[in-house]
Structure 1
């Protein structure tokens, strides 16, 4: 492979030397219509230069292209820009002739062609894309160019690409993005070869000049009415006056020319790919092989710019350009019995191809169309590290293209991509103290094209460089951030939903920033990824659509674990239009503050009338996007730690409830309803298990609700709620009820195992309480708490408790009231110290 590569480069160098001798200095061809350049005396024009003439003429019969320019330079920048004339051509089928190089100065014409040396060299303009076209660049360096000079030059390139077989197509612009005094376009063709033209954006019709043998189409216009694009215009948009001309009468004619170029191998190809257990797996294995194991490299001189190499050769050398890789994949799919064809597209102008007449030069890329399960699919074989099953393969929005299928007579539109890429960020920040350090953990999940991008990124860079880039990325908000361990990249779902997960681990020594004047500590969190995504440029007085980017969904949840309770109000912010939706939610859960962001870009561009509102909305979003916490740092105001008051109150309540429980134990002795004394068994075992477990559940609930944390009891008052006292009493009521239930559960356990006659009626009270108390708690909760603190999740949990309480009460209350087994089991009463039984009538 290395030898082949060297041979190709050597061949190009040889060609550059051989064909450099073909550059001649001759007058314009006989068929050219001479256009004179007016001698302008402009000396105060704005800018560094101005085009006075753009003159492009084509002869389809002789296959010649004549270009003629006149530019006036006004300062040193203009002189620097145009003192070197450079023209590129393909030496495999073209030759270059310089017709004139003149400098017009103060009414005098200075011939620079005679004295000029023509230097040639090979400059691969697409080298960074691994494409070698073999073109030669001829350069003429002009001497003694002065301010206000007019540089006029013309040249002829002989030879059209033989792949067109005498056909021709191009686009004549009658309007450019900078002013041109005169634009002259002319195409001449023999009568046997008709020229078709199509006008766009109010372009003028041509003047048609006919002779006995030829027809000429001429556009001669004033180009000072130039066109200025707004910023962020969709990349496919073209609003300039232009005329598309072509000798192809329709797309079917073009297809008939191109399709024979894409000939698959006559023999079945074999290779290292796996044969899947079903058709879909086979297709995916072939796609992955061509995408990842056949590298992208193209030698596109001459007809190689349009004609792919034989698939067997591409498979053998394991490299090729988009045409080569596409035809190879088509060949492999057809060998596997899959209907498949090449599909030509334009990566920049696919949305507007229908505005132009057919021409092979309209397409700059090739992908693959195939059919599976009564569905049509499109895949780009040049994309590497792509994931997803067939229904989750992503494809750039290429718009329309030419399907190289028999009887294809029109452009085919690729269906809009329904796979919306998603980014989900989960941040956890754990602080050790106010003013102290923080542990920062980030888990990001990418799906769709976002996953493809990150997969390619991680495979293209070293672990060390990735770690450094990520640390630098976060340093904008956390300057002291340090990597705690290498980033973990997980790609366990490449073959299905196309999802990758990135886990990051950092230490932030100075998470809190102290204001030296006030002594206040602050910390901040921001959704950096989202900020970058919605960083839109302002565009006043908009007249064109505004490109927003391809649709996506973003979600971020940041959890900040604090050393104590924080007095904050839950809050929400949202903004939505037809093109986007954003929401932010801040909620305190115990010592943790959770900040959620959700953003959905629903359209890739918006009309100009909507731009001002869109940008103002996003200014508001950017104002809301950061979240900051502050703390006075005053130790006296620190409300962390245990609440001594709540512990004392709890102990007092516990003593009172134990005293009451002992009174019930000693004094409540209903008369036995049976003389039998059965052991506990049957269905009675189930409520017994529930009784034994209930104290542990209650203890967990009391411990987890923060009743003994100092900050809880001052939370409502410090937050400024008008009914802070009522809310604090409600909290105390919950604590008291939990302690009472805990003592009552312990009492029932003792009575249960002693088989006391008091157990049935007391346990009925417990089951009734398990139904009634949650209802009371729910009513008080919704009546006392402000609406901004109400949480539907808490309500749902209470509803679940009520339902469980109802089911338990409905089953066990009737059972303990009427069951003979209960009456025959719980027959014991308390005995006094002298052995007498205390019986309550």
Structure 2
């Protein structure tokens, strides 16, 4: 009888909820539709921690899809692995009137393994996707539950994960035992955190965050990252246990200590490898020389394969196994390189990093496992060397935009230590171009182009050099060279490996339309290859700061030497131009001597963060540069110029 009463009450509650939920698109406030591709109608996230080894994550989301740009939000992806289990997935789809059209079927939930080249992983993911798609707009509802036995990672709550995504209601709760207080950081919240005793965890604490009516964000160029602008709560464990390893994350020292303990004793090498290393470095007298020799040995001997098996997502395979198989993931190759250096008496430390050219820096005020990559730090007095052990062509000491300009955690026997990686300046990120052009009276030209790229600017070209065939390189150059139509008759790349690496690119090309003839005149664009466009035009007042990011630290210099066709001379001279702003400087000039015209251009930009109102000045600066880059010199036949009235 009690069970029957409970069942009737539960069904009644579901019925009342179904009656109260109105998923009709007409119920969405107008301001929630502005600038939006989708609307998060309801968002309920619950994370319940019952012990250092057990937690349950429950999610319910209702999302209205307004157009095809948001179709991905009608697809649910739930990852899991050896330490977690998806215990439930449910879903339903509604038409524009809010009428439920169908519920998610078991056949519409698929299970996949992470499988791709150079990847070994026991992680999997379930994908729920309705086989029938409705006319826009439509609404989907998903509910799922995941139980976990790995509490190294707590969830982050960021309901607005897309600029064109508005949020009507979102709620995030975390239940933890009293002896495991929650560590968290808040950003951009207007409603205060609510705390109360937990009803699910014995003698526990319930933390609750909630927000309502968060409109879609207008996309603005050069804006701060979305995470800087929208409400976000980061959470992290204080203490945890995974596969018999226990740890605490109260400080960065603790984080490093856990990683050190997890990987301690895995750096033993076979005696044959040790002897080979000693032979290799026997003739080297300096630490940099020994490091370079060992690093190049690593690059020739081992290749990268991602291995994420069980706790192997954080624990390396042994150095002895890498020596035998000649492959490993970032942890394994870094550990192996560290062991090789140890044979030569050179200490080195793993560096945990949140890598990626667009990845934000870690939150230094919330110690935890925020990393996705490991590389190696080799202290050498004031000249620290960094080794990217997964790359078979990166030079010693260069970190680039993948791991540069951010905080990393050095793993030492005494625990973790936060340090920063190198930042590259405009003097190190250069494009130096020399072009010689022979122009004909009909505007055709042949040109020899030599461009020298350094630092961050050489990275795309080094990647092309190492990853593409000769024919693919040719196609890539034709596609990326800023000219409307030309024939590429010859090209080549030469790489220089150094702490600031460089790539020299040479091209020989011919075009029928470098200049435009008109009667007795030729209209000659002076800057054919390096012209930049204006900044995007804003349609309303700027709201966010202007962020010129890491890649804005650069200097481009161009020297173009034109041999003019016989009988032609400039109709007028061009005054040198100089533009200066807090964002950078621009200089250009054209000098003529006989039939030789020399055009020089220098653009130097640097990164920075400026208030929203500075965008007007920045756009004006870019507009002037774009106009100057389009400058044309008018050439006219000398006899016509002589016959003109004085």
TM-score, normalised with respect to structure 1: 0.63
Structure-1 separation of matches of 2:59 and 2:500: 55
Q: CA deviation at 1:513?
A: 2.9
Q: Map residues 567-606 of structure 1 onto 2, 5 A cutoff.
A: 567=570, 568-569=572-573, 571-606=575-610
Report the counterpart of residue 482 of structure 1 in structure 2: 487
Q: CA deviation at 1:245?
A: 2.1
Structure-2 separation of matches of 1:630 and 1:611: 34
Q: Deviations over 1:300-359 (max 9, x none)?
A: 143222222212222332222222222222222222222211111112587552365222
Structure with higher helix content: 1
Q: Map residues 6-45 of structure 1 onto 2, 5 A cutoff.
A: 38-40=20-22, 42-44=24-26, 45=28
Name which of 54, 57, 60 aligns with 1:66: 57
* Distance of aligned partners of 1:316 and 1:187 in 2 relative to their CA distance in 1, 3 Å threshold: same
Structure-2 separation of matches of 1:465 and 1:142: 39
Q: Deviations over 1:26-49 (max 9, x none)?
A: x9xx9xx99967412543344665
* Distance of aligned partners of 1:334 and 1:524 in 2 relative to their CA distance in 1, 3 Å threshold: same
Q: Judge which range, 518-527 or 257-266, deviates more.
A: 518-527
Name which of 173, 178, 183 aligns with 1:191: 178
**Aligned pair 1:89/2:80, yes or no?**
yes
* Distance of aligned partners of 1:301 and 1:604 in 2 relative to their CA distance in 1, 3 Å threshold: farther
Structure-1 separation of matches of 2:136 and 2:524: 59
**Aligned pair 1:266/2:268, yes or no?**
yes
Report the counterpart of residue 241 of structure 2 in structure 1: none
Q: CA deviation at 1:243?
A: 2.1
Report the counterpart of residue 296 of structure 2 in structure 1: 288
Q: CA deviation at 1:473?
A: 4.5
Name which of 451, 455, 474 aligns with 1:448: 455
Q: Map residues 539-578 of structure 1 onto 2, 5 A cutoff.
A: 539=538, 541-549=541-549, 550=551, 551-562=553-564, 563-564=566-567, 566-567=569-570, 568-569=572-573, 571-578=575-582
Name which of 235, 243, 256 aligns with 1:245: 235
* Distance of aligned partners of 1:526 and 1:593 in 2 relative to their CA distance in 1, 3 Å threshold: same
Structure-2 separation of matches of 1:473 and 1:535: 19
Q: Deviations over 1:86-123 (max 9, x none)?
A: 43322x2222222644567989889946x643643325
Q: Deviations over 1:680-701 (max 9, x none)?
A: xxxxxxxxxxxxxxxxxxxxxx
Structure-1 separation of matches of 2:422 and 2:207: 39
Report the counterpart of residue 193 of structure 2 in structure 1: 206
Structure-2 separation of matches of 1:379 and 1:595: 40
Q: CA deviation at 1:632?
A: 4.7
Structure-2 separation of matches of 1:527 and 1:606: 31
Structure with higher strand content: 2
Q: CA deviation at 1:283?
A: 0.8
Report the counterpart of residue 8 of structure 1 in structure 2: none
Report the counterpart of residue 417 of structure 1 in structure 2: 424
Report the counterpart of residue 170 of structure 1 in structure 2: 155
Report the counterpart of residue 429 of structure 1 in structure 2: 437
**Aligned pair 1:223/2:205, yes or no?**
no
Report the counterpart of residue 807 of structure 1 in structure 2: none
Structure-1 separation of matches of 2:226 and 2:461: 26
Report the counterpart of residue 41 of structure 2 in structure 1: 52
The 8 Å contact of residues 65 and 74 in structure 2, kept in 1 or not, is answered as no
Q: CA RMSD in A?
A: 3.8
Q: Deviations over 1:682-728 (max 9, x none)?
A: xxxxxxxxxxxxxxxxxxxxxxxxxxxxxxxx6xx9798xxxxxxxx
Indicate the SS of the match to 1:502. strand
Q: Deviations over 1:461-518 (max 9, x none)?
A: 22233334434555734x3x3334x213333x42476333222222334544333xx4
Q: Deviations over 1:185-240 (max 9, x none)?
A: 12222222222222223464432222593323332423312462533334586222
* Distance of aligned partners of 1:505 and 1:576 in 2 relative to their CA distance in 1, 3 Å threshold: same
Report the counterpart of residue 244 of structure 2 in structure 1: none
Q: Of the two structures, which has the highest relative contact order with CA contacts closer than 8 Å and spacing of 6 or more?
A: 2
Q: CA deviation at 1:424?
A: 0.5
The 8 Å contact of residues 337 and 389 in structure 2, kept in 1 or not, is answered as yes
Structure-2 separation of matches of 1:544 and 1:622: 24
**Aligned pair 1:299/2:289, yes or no?**
no
Report the counterpart of residue 380 of structure 2 in structure 1: 372
Indicate the SS of the match to 2:62. strand
* Distance of aligned partners of 1:227 and 1:241 in 2 relative to their CA distance in 1, 3 Å threshold: farther
Indicate the SS of the match to 2:488. strand
Q: Deviations over 1:622-663 (max 9, x none)?
A: 111134343455x9538xxxxxxxxxxxxxxxxxxxxxxxxx
Indicate the SS of the match to 2:170. strand
Report the counterpart of residue 799 of structure 1 in structure 2: none
Indicate the SS of the match to 1:375. coil
Indicate the SS of the match to 2:379. strand
Structure-2 separation of matches of 1:586 and 1:159: 67
The 8 Å contact of residues 259 and 405 in structure 1, kept in 2 or not, is answered as yes
The structure with the largest alpha-carbon Rg is 1
Report the counterpart of residue 362 of structure 2 in structure 1: 353
Q: Map residues 758-837 of structure 1 onto 2, 5 A cutoff.
A: none
Structure 1: stretches of 5+ with no match in the other structure: 1-26, 639-713, 721-841
* Distance of aligned partners of 1:718 and 1:384 in 2 relative to their CA distance in 1, 3 Å threshold: farther
Q: CA deviation at 1:602?
A: 1.9
The 8 Å contact of residues 557 and 594 in structure 1, kept in 2 or not, is answered as yes
Report the counterpart of residue 637 of structure 1 in structure 2: 640
The 8 Å contact of residues 63 and 74 in structure 2, kept in 1 or not, is answered as no
Structure 2: stretches of 5+ with no match in the other structure: 1-6, 239-249
Indicate the SS of the match to 1:616. helix
Indicate the SS of the match to 1:571. coil
* Distance of aligned partners of 1:393 and 1:136 in 2 relative to their CA distance in 1, 3 Å threshold: closer
Structure-2 separation of matches of 1:553 and 1:436: 30
Q: Deviations over 1:219-267 (max 9, x none)?
A: 2423312462533334586222222222222222222222122334223
Q: Deviations over 1:13-71 (max 9, x none)?
A: xxxxxxxxxxxxxx9xx9xx999674125433446653222111122226233333242
Structure-2 separation of matches of 1:507 and 1:138: 52
Report the counterpart of residue 523 of structure 1 in structure 2: 524
Report the counterpart of residue 612 of structure 1 in structure 2: 616
Q: Deviations over 1:606-625 (max 9, x none)?
A: 44232211111111111111
Task: Give the length in aligned residue pairs.
Answer: 593
Structure-2 separation of matches of 1:71 and 1:509: 58
Report the counterpart of residue 537 of structure 2 in structure 1: 538
Indicate the SS of the match to 1:285. helix
Q: Deviations over 1:746-784 (max 9, x none)?
A: xxxxxxxxxxxxxxxxxxxxxxxxxxxxxxxxxxxxxxx
Q: CA deviation at 1:423?
A: 0.9
Structure-2 separation of matches of 1:148 and 1:508: 50
Structure-1 separation of matches of 2:307 and 2:58: 27
TM-score, normalised with respect to structure 2: 0.80
* Distance of aligned partners of 1:628 and 1:231 in 2 relative to their CA distance in 1, 3 Å threshold: closer
Structure-1 separation of matches of 2:631 and 2:382: 50
Q: Map residues 483-498 of structure 1 onto 2, 5 A cutoff.
A: 483-484=488-489, 486-491=490-495, 493-495=496-498, 498=501
The 8 Å contact of residues 169 and 359 in structure 1, kept in 2 or not, is answered as no
* Distance of aligned partners of 1:593 and 1:78 in 2 relative to their CA distance in 1, 3 Å threshold: closer
Structure-2 separation of matches of 1:603 and 1:501: 25
Structure-2 separation of matches of 1:153 and 1:437: 62
**Aligned pair 1:117/2:122, yes or no?**
no
Structure-2 separation of matches of 1:294 and 1:421: 30
